[in-house]
A and B are shown apart, each in its own frame.
Chain A
Amino acid sequence: MQTITNDTWLLTVGTFLPLVGVLLMMFVPASEEKTHKQIGILTSAVTAAVGVYTLLRFDFDQSEKLQFFVDSEWITVIKSNYTIGLDGISLPLYFLSMVVTLLVMIYTWDNMPDAGNPKSFIMLMLVLQVGMAGSFIAQDLILFFVFFEVVLLPMYFMIGVWGGDDRQYASLKFFLYTMFGSALMLVAFLALFFQTGAASFSFAHLMEAGALIDRDVQIWIFAGMFVGFAVKVPMFPFHTWLPDAHTQAPTQGSVILAAILLKLGTYGFVRIAIPMLPQGAKAWAPVIGILAVIGIIYGALGCLAQTDMKRLIAFSSVAHMGFVMLGISTLTDFGINAALFGMVAHGLITGMLFFVAGSVKHRYHTLEISRLSGMLIQMPRLGWILGFAAMASLGLPGLAGFWGEFPAILSAYNPNFGLSEALFRTLMVVAAIGTVFAAAYLLWLYQRTAFGRPNPEFEQGAHHPVGAGVNDEHHDVDLHDVTKIEWIAWTPFLIAIVVFGVYPQLMFGVMDPAVSLLIERVGAGIP
């Protein structure tokens, strides 16, 4: 694999910088909440600035090569190195993780979840950021595994400590599912290592040597990785942790989960499973495709049945990740580009939807769809933003969501490497029907919450009969429109959704060379 070794410090600094913030915060007493928030924002802002500098230094004409490449000794005894690099596939996600963390950190300024204790909360978010960014730069299987697991505990605590009523159940479910996936994944990684001659864990080596493994063995190893990554994506039938985790997580957790964490799974397929085990990938592609489409339909039907706004958005994630996986399963240049685009787009759009849901919860103290209505009258700006995000989510052309879904469906028309056309065209049709469902549930959600007359119980200054105050969901109706902090945190999302929607080439241009190379390599491994 060709590499460029310029600015070797850049990725290491960008990834581990948040730890400096964590270290600083250790020495500040927990009672100084404002200082902690400031340190959090400052650290993530500097990290994001390093990210911007990375964008500037990135050579976009050679985005198929690994840039800022570093390969230094780490655990020599087990032949694992500290190998990092960035190419067109990982750049968008790497940068996205930095920006999302910054914006979430800003949002936290006056939206701290009820459980309080911003010190721990912000420290965990910073550690989370290290794990996320690290996963996208790792070019060594063991290093990737370590980063992949680093995100586990902080997210567990974010859901479990700062989440909703059912937080303990949700957080444990999240933890055990992911742990199960990664344990099997680790076995698969080690099997891959020994099958390739136990020489190195580096991606470059494994991509060359992995293709030479016998087909049957590849299929088995792929199965192990499949479980690990599919849990993270999550794909049907491994998705059941997601609605619980999303619903119970605090807004910040939901946004990070949707925007970045789920992408670790799909990224793992694109970066590791498929190029290292081309024949295994080909054998599994129909299964992935079928499960992806089941996920699309199942997620959509699940959405239609939900009465809770956040849970509905969570199920829509299952459906959207189904489109991403469908694109990947075609093994085409076109499909994987679409999938990568879909990953970023879903991150932006669903992240935005979760932000809105968080703010709705903050104001109404409920997310029960049947109790919400007339948001456009009471809080027109928030209502419009919800509408905008819903439109983007259902794949309206001109907004980012479209470029994730439409090409993914299209790519299934012509799957690569002799995959069954009949099967994939059927999948294509079913997936297309799924988009109709998507329009249905999102518009229905919008109609029920934003249109109509406001629910009398949430009228401004509504008079509550004596005794109703016992139910503390009713007290303190304070409906204010989008605040300044929210504008700051959300505007970049809104702008990005429009920009990528209008000019998708911005991202496709970066990714395509790397994806073509990837497909070429996969093709070389399939006899």
Chain B
Amino acid sequence: MISSLLAQAWTAPTIDWHAIAPELVLIAGINLVLLIDLWLDESKKWAMATLTGFVMLGAVIPVVTLAVLGGDVRDAIFDGRYVVDEYALILKALFLLVGYVVVLLSQNELEEGGYYQGEFYVLMLVSVLGMVMMASSRDLLSVFVALELLSIPAYMMAAWRKRDVKSNEAGVKYYLLGVFASGVLLYGMSFLYGTTGSTKLTEIGAALSGDLTGMQVLAVVFVVAGFAFKISAVPFHTWAPDTYEGAPTPVTAFLSVASKSAGFVALLTVLYLGLYGADEVHGPFIWVMAALTMTVGNMVALRQTNIVRMLAYSSVSQGGFILMPLAVMGTGAAESSLRAVVIYLLIYAFSNLGAFAVIIAVARKTRSGEISSFGGLITYAPGLGVLMTIFLASLAGIPPLGIWIAKLQAFKALIDAGSSSAYVLAIIAAVNTVIAAGYYMRVLRQIWMSPVPDGDTTPISPPSSIWLALGITAGGTVVLGILPGLVLRFADLPDLTGALGL
């Protein structure tokens, strides 16, 4: 009787299983890893990394088939609040690939440190699941759920070396500030819902046109500020350096690339679908944040002597460059801004992960995080030296290596907007490019020109997983720099900007 009652009141929605296949693969993988870990003997824990890697790659398969077969946008599922389009697919692929590379990097670190491998990979898979969901979320609720899903495991991963005070500090700082940011974000979202009557981004967007009420202005500011924590934009960046330094290096790589990109994706989706009518509010706000972020990040990075800390601040500064085009999205450069941000995220992932991979490989020998420990690297590990040169030169924006095209796109978006404030920001960014080159070059100077610090020139032989990670990241950095057309066309995003009626 109950069943017949249920059948009347509730009909199961038609679910496009293909569209959510990547998420399903990840969920199945999470359970699988969790279960196998329970029964696996301690001596065989190394297999967890391999298994996790396969889960990531397995989830890429439906992404690829969706991209090849999909064709049209799949938004029927969940009432258009969860959409699978080109924008979502390319970012899902990015997150899964980054996840895979981070698994490669973590493998030996965890194995040799005797950490809890099974749990680590479960958390990482959960975090990646959150990111993959983020790419498709088109509703305040699903954005928030995805954001928490990707953040909470990351808090724990940051504190993974639990006997190390610094790692604890990293985790606690990240957690407290992250939760605070979530609170601010949620507060802003509640205002948005209260004043527009919907949580669906496109409906919010429709309701937010014209003059804004005071409460709506506040809502926009809170929402943007909440995301600003996630992407460590100045002045909401203070957690980043300590967390990056204290966390295990592979986790730092994960946070500074994947987690940050996910924050940007959330910001992009919300800005483009929900808040585009409020550009008079968030335009100047983001302008100031972008200018501050790149400048402050650079200034502090210049003074660092620890390479991980330096990369942490440099990634803050890079965040400013990624943020920069969004400052002008409301002034006629919406499409080129969106493209610039997506391209930047894609290419930045390769170069930054690559730099971390080299750091991990070198630190295995030198057991030090100081920039001076890279002295004379080129003489005893020429391969790693050249690769680090490629990654850092790319981060500095030197053609024909990866990030130059991303920087070019960012500048292009600004100049496309053509307003005088955009030009001023472009000049600030140009000056910052030079400052950034200063500290990247300092590392290169150590690698190429300084003597080996302790005279120990035994060659470094990184494990094959790190070589694979280096190969993927270096290949991406070089190939995308010379033939950027390969990814640029993915960033043609009519579906997302289509909502703007462009």
Residues of A within 8 A of B (CB): 30, 73-78, 117, 120, 142, 145-146, 149-150, 152-153, 156-157, 160-161, 167-168, 171-172, 175-176, 179-180, 183-184, 186-187, 190-191, 193-194, 198
Contacts and interface: CB of A to CB of B under 8 A. Distances in A.
28 contacts: A73-B485, A75-B485, A76-B485, A77-B491, A120-B378, A120-B382, A142-B408, A146-B399, A149-B404, A161-B449, A167-B449, A168-B449, A171-B445, A172-B438, A172-B445, A175-B441, A176-B441, A179-B396, A179-B433, A184-B427, A186-B430, A187-B426, A190-B411, A190-B412, A191-B423, A194-B415, A194-B418, A198-B416
B400 A146 contact: yes
Contact of A186 (B389, B408, B431, B489): B408
A376 B412 CA distance: 59
Interface in B428-485: 430-431, 433-434, 437-438, 441, 445, 448-449, 484-485
Interface residues of B, number: 38
Contacts of B484: 75, 77
Given A172-B441, A183-B431, 20 more contacts: A73-B485, A77-B339, A77-B485, A78-B408, A78-B488, A145-B399, A146-B400, A146-B404, A149-B400, A150-B399, A167-B449, A179-B396, A179-B433, A184-B427, A187-B427, A190-B408, A193-B412, A194-B416, A194-B418, A198-B416
A176 B404 CA distance: 16
Contacts of B491: 77
Contacts of A161: 448-449
Contacts of B433: 179, 183
A186 B408 CA distance: 8
B411 A160 contact: no
Nearest 3 Cβ contacts at the A-B interface: A183-B430, A146-B399, A77-B488
Contacts of B445: 160, 168, 171-172
B415 A78 contact: no
A164 B449 CA distance: 12
A221 to B, nearest CB: 10
B406 to A, nearest CB: 12
B478 to A, nearest CB: 12
Contact of B485 (A74, A150, A152, A193): A74
Interface of B: 339, 378-379, 382, 389, 393, 396, 398-400, 404-405, 408-409, 411-412, 415-416, 418, 423, 426-427, 430-431, 433-434, 437-438, 441, 445, 448-449, 484-485, 488-489, 491-492
A180 B432 CA distance: 9
Contacts of A179: 396, 433-434, 437
B400 A150 contact: yes
A327 B427 CA distance: 31
A160 B449 contact: yes
Given A157-B448, A187-B415, A77 B489 contact: yes
A29 to B, nearest CB: 10
B398 A153 contact: yes
Given A75-B485, A175-B437, A180 B398 contact: no
Given A76-B485, A153-B393, A183-B433, A190 B415 contact: yes
A167 B405 CA distance: 31
Contacts of B418: 194
A191 B415 CA distance: 6
Contacts of B488: 75, 77-78
Contacts of B427: 184, 187
A113 to B, nearest CB: 13
A183 B434 contact: yes
B441 to A, nearest CB: 6
B178 to A, nearest CB: 34
Nearest to A76: B485
Contacts of A157: 448
Nearest to B430: A183
Contact of A152 (B339, B378, B398, B492): B398
Contacts of B379: 117
Contacts of B404: 146, 149
Contacts of B411: 186-187, 190
Nearest to B482: A146
A180 B492 CA distance: 31
A177 to B, nearest CB: 9
A149 B430 contact: no
B301 to A, nearest CB: 15
A149 B394 CA distance: 12
Contacts of B485: 73-77
B434 A176 contact: yes
A152 to B, nearest CB: 6
A187 B434 CA distance: 13
A447 B291 CA distance: 56
B418 to A, nearest CB: 6
B176 to A, nearest CB: 38
A160 B444 CA distance: 10
A171 B400 CA distance: 20
B442 to A, nearest CB: 8
Most chain B CB inside 10 Å of its own CB: which residue of A30, A145, A146: A146
A171 B444 CA distance: 12
Contacts of A172: 438, 441, 445
A78 B412 contact: yes
A183 B389 CA distance: 20
B383 to A, nearest CB: 10
A244 to B, nearest CB: 15
B405 A75 contact: yes
Nearest to B416: A194
A518 B155 CA distance: 63
Interface centre among A160, A172, A187 (most CB of B within 10 A): A187
Contacts of B415: 187, 190-191, 193-194
A95 B492 CA distance: 41
B355 to A, nearest CB: 16
Contacts of B400: 146, 149-150
A179 B484 CA distance: 22
B116 to A, nearest CB: 41
Nearest to B396: A179
Nearest to A157: B448
Contacts of B399: 145-146, 149-150
Contacts of A145: 399
Nearest to B333: A194
Nearest to A192: B415
A120 B430 CA distance: 31
Contacts of A183: 430-431, 433-434
A150 B482 CA distance: 12
A151 to B, nearest CB: 10
A75 B379 CA distance: 37
A146 B407 CA distance: 13
B182 to A, nearest CB: 36
A184 B423 CA distance: 11
A142 B408 CA distance: 9
A185 B445 CA distance: 26
Contacts of A150: 399-400
Given A150-B400, A175-B437, A187 B430 contact: yes
A176 B408 contact: no
A186 B407 CA distance: 10
A156 B437 CA distance: 12
B494 to A, nearest CB: 13
Nearest to B438: A176
B375 to A, nearest CB: 12
B408 A156 contact: no
A196 B389 CA distance: 37
Nearest to A148: B399
A193 B491 CA distance: 21
A193 B433 CA distance: 21
Nearest to A156: B441
B444 to A, nearest CB: 8
- Among A73, A156, A161, the one with the most B-chain Cβ atoms within 10 Å of its Cβ is A156
B434 A180 contact: yes
Contacts of B378: 120
Contacts of B437: 175-176, 179
